[in-house]
Amino acid sequence: MTFARITGTGSYLPERVLSNADLEKMVDTSDEWITTRTGIRERRIAANGETTGDLAFHAATRALEAAGVKASELDAIVLGTTTPDLIFPSTACLLQSRLGANGCMAFDVNAACCGFMYALGIADKFIRAGQTKKALVVGSETLSRMTDWTDRNTCVLFGDGAGAVVLEADKEPGVLTTLLHADGGYADLLYNPVGVSKGFKEDGRHGNTIMMEGNKVFRVAVRALERLVDETIAAANMHADNVDWLIPHQANLRIIRATAERLQLPMDRVVITVDKHGNTSSGSVPLALDELIRTGKVQRGQNLLLEAFGGGFTWSSAMIRY
């Protein structure tokens, strides 16, 4: 039987740091208000002209280097993003050309904050089916491009960043299971109101910015992730105490704590980057995964539970044996 194993990880953050103190000068907010409600202290912002594809390129290069894989060896590039460089071609195709991986399969996945998790699930299935031996999976975002910097309820949340992993076919189990869910019935709670078919012009209320009913999103997210944790453990034929590390979507520290409590997992086994990165959407899980691996804390054979929740609504998970 063929499995997909993670053989390399990489990440990249823009240089500019936007702290809560900086935001205090921009909108009616405070460091205490932000940290109490979200756990966020700072976030990174892409420079003028710096694109989602740029961030993805740096993260991908680092992941390929860590895996010892040449770009020309790749069979697939799957990139999760809600902020592509262009409408088309896909950012994955643009990335493919920059890496020198021309000829392999390359496409984007838009599942909001679950973009990387969806991309991981898709790449895993291609490897299990025997159609792919080496795949690059990326989550990259420049959410600052569609953040309303006058809205104190949303502008404090988001940041830019990218993470990537290399998956390779192996006889030893790696990605044990992936679960992907969505419910479009909640679309009006977290969305961006413009698009190609609906048009890019303002509708009289708002333009190209993130719209969110935060309290309602929070309640649904906590419930969905509690169910997802149980479902993932069952799908992997495990018990909660078999989980060594939780690598959650970095959206809100309160949501992360609730998920950890569901697992009865101590917080020193939960990867937290939301304080430094903010919510980087599809970039957040691979960023956190790369940080864990590069610290050297994770050991081979340990079980990692990855999960995310995003607009759509989408929610997704993976159980990985490192």
Catalytic residues: 113, 249, 279
- The beta-strand segments (E) located in 187-270 are 190-191, 211-212, 245-248
Each as own residue / partner, the long-range contacts of residues 210-216 (CB below 8 Å, 24 or more positions apart, any chain) are 210/143, 210/146, 210/147, 210/148, 210/154, 210/158, 212/153, 212/154, 213/189, 214/153, 214/154, 216/189
CA 23, distance to chain mean position in Å, is: 24
Greatest Cα pair distance in the chain: 57
Angle between the 52-67 and 284-295 helix axes, to the nearest 10 degrees? 30
Measuring CA to CA, which residue among 10, 295, 264, 302 is closest to residue 176? Answer: 302
CA 81, distance to chain mean position in Å, is: 8
Asked if 175 and 120 touch (Cβ cutoff 8 Å), the reply is yes
Which two tokens mark 303?
A: 């079980």
